Structure 1
Amino acid sequence: MIPRYSRPRIREIWDDSCKYSIWLEIEILVCEAMAQLGLLPAEDAQAIRERGNFSVPEILEIEKRTNHDVIAFLENVASYIGPEARWIHQGLTSSDVLDTALAVQLVRSCDILLEDVAQLKEVVGRKARQYKKTPMMGRSHGIHAEPITFGLKMALMYDEFGRAEQRLQAAREEVAVGKLSGAVGTHAHLDPRVEAIVCDKLGLKADSLSTQVIQRDRHAQFSANLAVIASSVDRWATEFRHLQRTEVLELEEYFSPEQKGSSAMPHKRNPITSERLSGLARIIRGNSVAAFESVALWHERDISHSSVERVIFPDSCILMDYMLATLTELVAGLEVYPENMLKNLGLTKGLFFSQSILLELTRRGLERKTAYEAVQSAAMATWQSQSDFLTELRKVPEITSVISPAELEKLCSMEQHFRYIDQAFRNVGL
């Protein structure tokens, strides 16, 4: 991933130096496990541990000749270890190292992403509590529906990223699997106990059964979960973009004193952070498709997945970290305008009370169709005139014959819409 959308901590997991360090640790742990089982001399395993090393530039230079990254790595490591290097890679195939190392990288990335989500939830939870009773218009199809509060909207976001947390935990568990079972997964040349010992030391489970590779349904599930989380980020970025439109302006992204919105129009204050997040979500969703395409490998393995995964896993993990951190910063800095929320509530002149009147009419004995048409006639008159909904309701005989003017006024109160907000907050753990 380009530096613009990368943060150092997670990027380091995916750089060459870290990758080769994990490869080396796997090779050393295999030798130590073999020594533990009496399969090679303990002093040789110790020498391998003490002298094991590599040089990234040297590996890359060797790879130009071998056209094989693992062989280039093994040649370079052997040059540092000496004669004991004959034990390195005993009974292994390249994918034993590659897939097990990939699992370590994915697990480490997940751990960072879980921290990111926890930080996001903390910020969103604070916003939800701060604006718990701040009324605003709820919209369906982009049209005024019934009142909610901004705090309730943020509580919904908090709940959604609680599910994101669960998805990350599930993704982590799905890929926290290693394999050291040889060329076609039969352990033909390496005791299965070595696999169990090494995977345990790496914090992984040994795969129950593998071919030359760990099966890619696991990696597809990992990518799918990231795609869902990216879509959640996109969903809320889109929400904030809509609420920042000039005609709505119920909130705004923070705009720093020296920030510029347009090279042509000095007045512009654009929701560029939200737009950026929506754009980046498309990459992670697209990468998940590539992961699905890598499930169907030939027989015990082909290499068609390799080139794909060298791109999609670093990019998706690094992007996901960037997106979650950026969304956290966005939410923390949101400029919220309760006065505009109230102003917008008044735009439809009380029409959002239509369901309250409809239900009261049916409770008092009117057939639903009759009640609906009576309320709708008042609503359409409100849309087409300068009058408010309550005034138009009082003009409809089918309504006033059942509900008194004083009762109508009482029914047109926002309080009933907010009766269960405390319960809703408890439901999501706020």
Structure 2
Amino acid sequence: MNYLPGGLRVRDLPENIDELFTSESLWQSWLDVEAALALAQGELGMIPAHCAARIAAQCRLAGFDLPALKADIALTMAPVLSLTHALAGLCGPEAGGYVHWGATTQNVMMTGRLLQLRKAHALLLRRLAQVLEALGDLASRGAGQVTVGRTNRKHALPITFGFKAATWIDEMLRCVQRLREVEPRTFRLVFGGAIGAMQSFGAQGPALARNLAARLGLRDSLVHSRNTLDSMSEYVLALALFGMACSRIGKELYILMTEEIDEVEEALGPGVIGSSTMPQKNNPKHVVALLARAARLRAMAAPALEAGQPSHEGDAASNQLIAELVDQSAILAYDLARRLDWLLRNLRLKPENMLRNLKLSADVVASENLMLLLAQGMGRQAAHDLVHELIARHKQAGTPVLELLLRHPAVAGRYDAEQLRHALDPAHYTGLSTEIALAATDQARHDAAAIRDAFPQAPCPA
């Protein structure tokens, strides 16, 4: 097995994340739990050691009669029961009598699902390393490209496109941070028997839990209660926040792709068709798919909070709901990361259109800079009122702001034309946009490398 941070360890990961959540994959994860349980109990003397070894050796789904197993599951509607019956048959009368010793169905189901989720978690984080690199490249490319910053969907101040991308990096880094921070709370063993009070394991229950947790690379729990699902709900919420971050990026790019703005576009191939009836259209493809899936992932937050409220000491309805949410959200999150990675790497910037749009407010978009210059001689409020008045006259009559400034008695003779022109030039008022973009690029690349170091496995599937 390969070891991951915090004691996590996983088998080789599949080529496609969908393979993690098939029935066969789920059954194998249950068998992995049964094997570890038997070996732990054999080591502690709870069952004969040679029987434990026999059970563990048979915990490979490839050795099962799958059609017969599926038929029995359909009959019993108790998949773990059917699986352990089949396993006992493979182990023979003596060892088979110790299969699933003292455990309950929910112990095995929940633990097996954790093993699946942990593999999906590793795949997602390695894909997010690629997303961070793509965002870093985008911020680097646009670090010095002046564009207009917008607030309330109106021109506000000049920035660089790299600064815009840096805000996406900042948020994506927090998404990764959340996913790493929930690991110790999410990947913990809950294995306390039917209720959680270790009745079937007796005084050896805590030692068994510690041994089993170590074998599976999970953390031990203080209380092995089946009815505390908050950690799984928290994981789904972390994925929903990742969906929100993807949506923010996607929505911004989608708006910037409209003809009225046209500052970016997807680099689609020459054979891609935008519309079946409007030949002139070049509709975005990948960003709309990103937004649709991000909405679905975000929508899982509310039911995840519902699932975290099981009744009494166990509730199958809550268990089924959280299990479905975990499977669906993990697959959706990975698909989102894959699509975002493609979109960022195939995004074409249009600097000429960024400058064109900037010119729509070029005389006034750096008015804050002008105000700060004038405030040195007349105070901030007086400077604000003066600049506001002159811009209003500029918009009404079309007279250039510079000309109005040079005519105004409070300005004329105090500042020369070059000083005022420089203050009004958007290119001279992007603040630290370039520096912020480059710093974010460095951080994105650093954290991407750290993720790869923490999860050193094969490249992400395509």
Q: Would you call these one fold, judging by a TM-score over 0.5?
A: yes
CA deviations 1:13-67 (Å, max 9, x no partner) are 1111111111011111111111111222222112212233434433331122212
- 2:23 paired with 1:16: yes
* Aligned-pair CA distance for 1:371: 2.2
Separation (CA, whole Å) in 2 of partners of 1:426 and 1:255: 28
Separation (CA, whole Å) in 2 of partners of 1:385 and 1:266: 41
How do 1:383-422 residues align onto structure 2 when only pairs under 5 Å count?
383-400=395-412, 402-421=414-433
- 2:135 paired with 1:128: no
Separation (CA, whole Å) in 2 of partners of 1:404 and 1:212: 76
The aligned residue for residue 236 of structure 2 is 223
Aligned letter for 1:348? S
Q: Decide which of 266, 279, 293 is 2:292's aligned counterpart.
A: 279
* Aligned-pair CA distance for 1:245: 0.7
The aligned residue for residue 299 of structure 1 is 312
The aligned residue for residue 116 of structure 1 is 127
Contact 1:110 1:172 in 2 (8 A): no
- 2:363 paired with 1:345: no
Alignment length, in residue pairs?
A: 422
- 2:189 paired with 1:182: no
- 2:65 paired with 1:58: no
The aligned residue for residue 457 of structure 2 is none
Separation (CA, whole Å) in 2 of partners of 1:297 and 1:64: 26
CA deviations 1:396-420 (Å, max 9, x no partner) are 4344365343321232233542452
Contact 2:143 2:438 in 1 (8 A): no
Separation (CA, whole Å) in 1 of partners of 2:44 and 2:362: 81
Inter-CA distance 396–278: structure 2 relative to 1 (3 Å threshold): farther
How do 1:17-416 residues align onto structure 2 when only pairs under 5 Å count?
17-52=24-59, 53=61, 54-83=64-93, 84-190=95-201, 191=204, 192-213=206-227, 215-366=228-379, 368-400=380-412, 402-416=414-428
* Aligned-pair CA distance for 1:392: 3.4
Separation (CA, whole Å) in 1 of partners of 2:237 and 2:412: 56
Separation (CA, whole Å) in 1 of partners of 2:65 and 2:397: 78
Contact 1:147 1:414 in 2 (8 A): yes
* Aligned-pair CA distance for 1:233: 0.3
Inter-CA distance 25–119: structure 2 relative to 1 (3 Å threshold): same
Inter-CA distance 316–118: structure 2 relative to 1 (3 Å threshold): same
TM-score (norm 2): 0.87
Aligned letter for 1:393? L
Aligned letter for 2:36? L
Inter-CA distance 234–56: structure 2 relative to 1 (3 Å threshold): farther
Percent identity between matched residues is 26
Separation (CA, whole Å) in 1 of partners of 2:258 and 2:427: 28
SS at match of 1:397: coil
Aligned letter for 2:140? R
Separation (CA, whole Å) in 1 of partners of 2:236 and 2:414: 58
Aligned letter for 1:43? H
Alpha-carbon RMSD across the aligned residues, in angstroms, is 1.9
Separation (CA, whole Å) in 2 of partners of 1:162 and 1:91: 43
Contact 2:131 2:337 in 1 (8 A): yes
Separation (CA, whole Å) in 2 of partners of 1:37 and 1:351: 77
Separation (CA, whole Å) in 2 of partners of 1:90 and 1:387: 88
SS at match of 1:87: coil
Contact 2:369 2:429 in 1 (8 A): no
List runs of 5+ in structure 1 lacking aligned partners.
1-6
Contact 1:349 1:389 in 2 (8 A): no
Aligned letter for 2:361? T
Separation (CA, whole Å) in 2 of partners of 1:332 and 1:108: 26
List runs of 5+ in structure 2 lacking aligned partners.
1-13, 443-462
TM-score (norm 1): 0.93
CA deviations 1:360-391 (Å, max 9, x no partner) are 2222133x433222111221223334443323
* Aligned-pair CA distance for 1:188: 1.5
Choose 147-156 or 132-141, whichever is displaced more: 147-156
Contact 1:13 1:105 in 2 (8 A): yes
Choose 334-343 or 309-318, whichever is displaced more: 309-318
* Aligned-pair CA distance for 1:427: 4.6
* Aligned-pair CA distance for 1:270: 1.5
Inter-CA distance 242–387: structure 2 relative to 1 (3 Å threshold): farther
* Aligned-pair CA distance for 1:79: 2.6
CA deviations 1:62-111 (Å, max 9, x no partner) are 12221222212222222322211211111111111111112212221111
Separation (CA, whole Å) in 2 of partners of 1:257 and 1:425: 32
Separation (CA, whole Å) in 2 of partners of 1:298 and 1:335: 53
Choose 309-318 or 48-57, whichever is displaced more: 48-57
Separation (CA, whole Å) in 2 of partners of 1:85 and 1:152: 63
